[in-house]
Amino acid sequence: MSEIDLSPPASSLIESIRSIGYSFPFAVADLIDNSISKDAKRIDISVTRDQLNKLTVSISDNGLGMDHKELRVAMSLGGKGPSDTRDSKDMGRFGLGLKTASFSQARVLTVISRASSSNDWYGISWDLDQVIKTNKWFASELDADKCIEKLATIGVLIPEVGTVVIWNSCDRLEEGLQTEDELSLHVNREIESLQKILSLVYHKLLEKKITQIYVNGLKLEPMDPFCTHGKDDESRSQLIFEEPVDVNGAKINVRGYLLPHQSRMGGTTRESKISIDGDHVANQGLYLYRVDRLIAWGSWQSIVRKSEANKLARVDISFGNDADELWKLDIKKSTAILPAIIKARIRDLIRKMSTHSSGVFEKRLKMRKTSENSVWCRYYDRDSQLITYEVDRSQPAIQALLDQFGENADLAESLLEFIESTFPADLVKNDLAISTAKFSREDDEEAYTNLLDLASQMKAAGINFEVFKNSVIDSHIYGLDQEILEKYLEKIRKVLNESI
C-alpha cells in the first residue's frame, strides 16, 4: 500500500482558520485564558491607532513567561492538544486558541516573552500575507533588539517577566469602515462590549482578586450575575438548591439562584451589574463555568423555555478541565452543551426553581390601578384567591420619599412592608357593607389643614407640587369629594407659591 501526501496548502487553510467565528471580545478572552494559565496577576489590554490610523491590539501579562522552546510550541498550530495532560488551572483545550483567535482578528500576530528578567526577550511573528505568498507555514523569529523595538511601539505596561501579544493589520475590526469617524465609533463600541463581556466572563476570578484586568487603562470590576453581592440595604438572591454531581470521577457543582424581583433590585445601575445592559430576560438560564471561567450563558438548553416568567432564575454549573469531553466544548470556548448524562439529573431541580421564579410573576397577578398616579397596587393570588394591597415603589412621590432615606432605605422598606401586611382589608369590607357608613365628606377645614401640612412636608422633601397633586387627585384622600379636593389643591398651590 502506497502513501500520498495530502497536507493542506497553507494559503487556503489559513483563510479557513480565520473564519472559525470569533467575536472580538471572545478572541481577546482566549488570549486572557493563556495569561491566567501562566499565573498572571495583571493583564493589560490596549486598543490603539498608530500614525497611519491603523489599529493595534496588545495583550500584556506579568505571568510566568515562556522560553524559546515553549514559545515555539505555543506559536505552532495544535502545539498542545486536548489529550495532553494539563494542570488543573490550565484554561487551554485544543492548542489552537492563541493562533485561531489572533488570526480571526488580525493578519500579523507577534508574541514576545521571557521567563526571567535575566534572559533576553524572544519573539515569533506570523504574517498571514507572507504565508499566503509562500504557501508555507513559515514564521519569523525576533531577536532581543527587535523585540525591544517592537515593545516600544505599543505604548502599554511592559512587565519584567511575562508575555506580550500584539495584533497588527486588524482588518476584521476595520472591515468596511471608510472614514475616521466611522472607525472611531465602531472601535469605541467594540471596547465597551469588550469591557462588559470580560467583566462577566471572568467575574469569579476578579471577585477572588486572583487577576486584575485592565482595558485601555480602565480596571475591570466583576459583574454579579447571581446577585449575591450588594450593599446592606440591597436585596440579594435566594440560593434555591446546591447539589454536587459526580460523572465518571469528574466533579460538577450545580447551584440554583432566584434573583430578587426587579422592583427590589435597587435601580438600573445595579441591574447593569447583574445582567449585560440590564436585560434580565436575555441573561436568564444556565451559566456554565470551566475552571471559574464563564463559557456560556443566556440559554436553558431546552430544559425550560426562556420567558419573562423565568427571568429571575439562574443556574451556576461549574466544572474543571477534567470533564471537557462531556461538554462538547468548541475551539472558541464560547459554547458548551449540557451533557445528556447529567441533563436528566438536574432537570427536575432546574424546573422546580424555574417554577419558583415563574411564581413571582404568574402566581400574583397585578390588577389594574384606578389611576396611574395611585399609591396602591392590587395583586390577585391565584392559589389563595386573595387580593392584597402594596405600596407602589415606582410611584413618583413614593420614589422621591424613599430616595430621602439614603443609607436607611432598608428601614423605609421594612416600614412599608409592615404597613402593607397590616392593611385592614377585612375592616374595609365590613365598613362598605354598612349601608349608613360614609366614605366621603364635603367641606372640612380639618382635612384642608392636614392636606396643607402634607403638601408642605412634601415640598420640604423636594417633591414637586404637580407630583404631589397627581398622587392625591384620584385617591379621595381624607374622604374628600373630587370637587372639594381639587378646590383645596388649588388653594394650597397659591399658599405654597406665596411662601417661596
Q: Cα(115)–Cα(377) distance, rounded to whole angstroms?
A: 65
Number of CB atoms found within 10 A of residue 410's CB: 14
pLDDT for the residue numbered 71: 95
* Residues in the chain, total: 500
> Does CATH number 3.30.565.10 belong to domain 10-219?
yes
Task: Give CATH for domain 238-362.
Answer: 3.30.230
Query: Closest by alpha carbon to 165, among 218, 113, 128?
Result: 113
- Residue pLDDT, tens place only, 119-145: 999 999 999 999 999 998 899 999 999
pLDDT for the residue numbered 482: 74
pLDDT (tens digit, 0 to 9) for every residue of the chain, 500 residues total? 777 776 777 887 888 888 777 899 999 999 999 999 999 999 999 998 876 778 899 999 999 999 999 999 999 876 554 444 545 454 444 457 799 999 999 999 999 999 999 999 999 999 999 999 999 889 999 999 999 999 988 867 788 999 999 999 998 888 777 677 888 888 899 999 999 999 999 999 999 998 999 999 999 999 999 999 888 778 888 898 888 888 777 888 999 998 887 777 777 888 889 998 888 778 888 999 998 999 989 888 877 777 766 778 899 999 887 767 777 776 666 677 777 767 766 777 776 665 565 555 445 555 666 666 677 777 666 656 677 777 776 677 777 777 677 556 557 766 777 787 777 777 766 666 665 555 555 556 777 787 888 788 777 777 778 777 777 776 667 667 777 877 888 888 887 776 65
DSSP 242-307: EEEEEETTEEEEEEEEEPPPGGGS-SHHHHHHHSGGG-TTTT-EEEEEETTEEEEEEE-TTSS---
pLDDT for the residue numbered 6: 67
pLDDT for the residue numbered 88: 45
Cell of 238: 435566594
Query: Closest by alpha carbon to 203, among 215, 226, 221?
Result: 221
Q: Cα(334)–Cα(295) distance, rounded to whole angstroms?
A: 5
pLDDT for the residue numbered 498: 61
Q: Give every CB contact of residue 88 below 8 A, 6+ residues apart in sequence.
A: 291, 320, 321, 322
Burial grade of 395 (CB within 10 A; 0-12, 13-18, 19 or more): buried
pLDDT for the residue numbered 137: 87
pLDDT for the residue numbered 441: 54
Q: Give SS3 for 461.
A: coil
Cell of 133: 505568498
Q: Cα(78)–Cα(83) distance, rounded to whole angstroms?
A: 11
H and E: helices and strands count for the chain:
18, 16
Amino acid letter for position 131: V
78 in Cβ contact with 95 (< 8 Å): yes
Computed over its alpha carbons, how large is the radius of gyration of the chain? 31
Cell of 185: 465609533
Is pTM beyond 0.75? Reply is no
Residue ranges of domains in the chain: 10-219, 238-362, 376-498
- State the DSSP H helix or E strand holding residue 338, giving kind and residue range, or none if neither: none
Q: Cα(169)–Cα(158) distance, rounded to whole angstroms?
A: 21
58 in Cβ contact with 156 (< 8 Å): yes
Q: Tell me if domain 10-219 and domain 238-362 are identical in fold.
A: no
- Residue pLDDT, tens place only, 252-295: 899 999 888 777 777 788 888 999 888 877 888 899 999 899 99
Q: At what angle do helices 445-460 and 482-498 cross, to 10 degrees?
A: 50
Query: Closest by alpha carbon to 247, among 303, 301, 322?
Result: 322
Q: Give every CB contact of residue 437 below 8 A, 6+ residues apart in sequence.
A: 431
pLDDT for the residue numbered 102: 94
Asked whether the CA dihedral 474, 476, 482, 487 is positive or negative, the reply is negative
pLDDT for the residue numbered 97: 79
267 in Cβ contact with 306 (< 8 Å): no
52 in Cβ contact with 64 (< 8 Å): no
Cell of 162: 511575562
Q: Cα(330)–Cα(21) distance, rounded to whole angstroms?
A: 11
Q: Give every CB contact of residue 132 below 8 A, 6+ residues apart in sequence.
A: 10, 11, 14, 15
